């Protein structure tokens, strides 16, 4: 199956995939909720069993340690975390447990994801969490590793019955970059502020109580401006992630994610200095010409 067809399922019907690069942490204990609310950027102070929220864990300086989804179980919470950030997140969180009754446990669960407008009906009455990863609606389902193969096959059949199917890593990446959705480890990391990567609208609450990094995140949002902006790019040829981006001969940023789109040529995500990051601006990625298509640090509603 072509990557373009697979990427189309994730927009028009439903695509399913085992997210092998994500892991699961359970946060439990009498103080789990109030303690976790003091560690992450979104508000989980009030119980909301069955709900999922995007959040970040940041340093005292407001830079991103980890991307995560918080799944509310009521008395405990599950954190879906990129494996690349998982051990670092565990180490960071454990340092902030002092006298609180909090226990962190890494679980041996696989994350299955159905994304697209028909994701909910694809899962049917199977247990799942509403986790919208690509902006078209979606559901994540957690299953024991021992039953992964059978569960994934069942979801594949349900997706095929609705005009979709199983999506490869390449198809997922094409859909992600088309949608302008930043990914941890590729488009943002410990050197990135939430405002630079377009994550504030979805993952940060400015109405909650204190959390680690709150002052820095709040100042950048309300008093200053992020020094860089994540942008969506169209390139005239292939350029490797990490290639410098320049405008009129001056290096002003860096390419992060890049993919060959069978319908649109080479498309990419990258950072440019704020003053030059505007739609239509001509750029060079090494020796390759390109242009800025859109800014990705704007609210989600403004991008659609």
Rounded CA separation 6/172 (Å):
7
Rounded CA separation 90/131 (Å):
22
The answer to whether residue 87 sits within a structural domain is yes
The answer to whether residue 270 sits within a structural domain is yes
151, 242: one domain: no
Domain count, the chain: 2
The answer to whether residue 202 sits within a structural domain is no
Model-level pTM greater than 0.85? yes
Supply the CATH number for residue 63's domain: 3.30.1360.120
106, 233: one domain: no
19, 146: one domain: yes
Look at residue 286 and give its three-state secondary structure: coil
The answer to whether residue 205 sits within a structural domain is no
Give the per-residue pLDDT at 54: 98
The first and second tokens of residue 98, run together, are 């002092």
Q: Which domain holds residue 279?
A: 227-303
Rounded CA separation 110/209 (Å):
32
The answer to whether residue 199 sits within a structural domain is no
Supply the CATH number for residue 281's domain: 2.40.30.110
Give the per-residue pLDDT at 225: 79
The answer to whether residue 185 sits within a structural domain is no
304 residues of the chain, pLDDT tens digit each = 799 999 999 999 999 999 999 999 999 999 999 999 999 999 999 999 999 999 999 999 999 999 999 999 999 999 999 999 999 999 999 999 999 999 999 999 999 999 999 999 999 888 899 999 999 999 999 999 999 999 999 999 999 999 999 999 999 999 999 999 999 999 999 999 999 999 999 999 999 989 999 999 988 887 767 889 999 999 999 999 999 999 999 999 999 999 999 999 999 999 999 999 999 999 999 999 999 999 987 544 444 4
Question: 118, 151, 177 — which closes off a domain?
Answer: 177
The answer to whether residue 39 sits within a structural domain is yes
């Amino acid at each position: 199956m072509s990557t373009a067809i697979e990427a189309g399922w994730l927009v028009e019907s439903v695509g399913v995939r085992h997210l092998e690069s994500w892991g699961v942490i359970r946060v439990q204990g009498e103080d789990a909720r109030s303690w976790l609310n003091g560690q992450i950027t979104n508000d989980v102070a009030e119980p909301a069993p069955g709900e999922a929220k995007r959040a970040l864990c940041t340093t005292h300086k407001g830079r991103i340690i980890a991307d995560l989804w918080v799944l509310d179980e009521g008395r405990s919470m599950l954190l879906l975390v990129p494996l690349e950030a998982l051990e670092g997140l565990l180490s960071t969180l454990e340092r902030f447990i002092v006298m609180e009754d909090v226990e962190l446990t890494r679980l041996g669960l696989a994350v299955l994801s159905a994304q697209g407008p028909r994701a909910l009906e694809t899962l049917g009455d199977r247990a799942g969490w509403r986790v919208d990863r690509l902006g078209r609606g979606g559901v994540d389902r957690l299953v024991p590793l021992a039953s992964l193969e059978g569960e994934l096959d069942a979801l594949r059949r349900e997706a095929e019955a609705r005009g979709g199917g199983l999506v490869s890593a390449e198809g997922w990446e094409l859909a992600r970059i088309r949608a302008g959705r930043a990914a941890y480890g590729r488009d943002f990391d410990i050197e990135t502020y939430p405002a630079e990567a377009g994550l504030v609208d979805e993952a940060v609450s400015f109405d909650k109580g204190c959390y680690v990094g709150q002052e820095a995140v709040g100042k950048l949002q309300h008093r200053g401006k992020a020094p860089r902006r994540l942008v969506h790019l169209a390139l005239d040829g292939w350029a490797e992630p990490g290639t410098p981006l320049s405008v009129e001969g001056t290096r002003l940023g860096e390419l992060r994610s890049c993919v060959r789109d069978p319908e649109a040529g080479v498309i990419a995500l990258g950072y440019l200095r704020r003053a030059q990051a505007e739609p239509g601006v001509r750029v060079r990625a090494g020796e390759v010409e390109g242009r800025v298509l859109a800014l990705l640090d704007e609210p989600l509603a403004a991008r659609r």
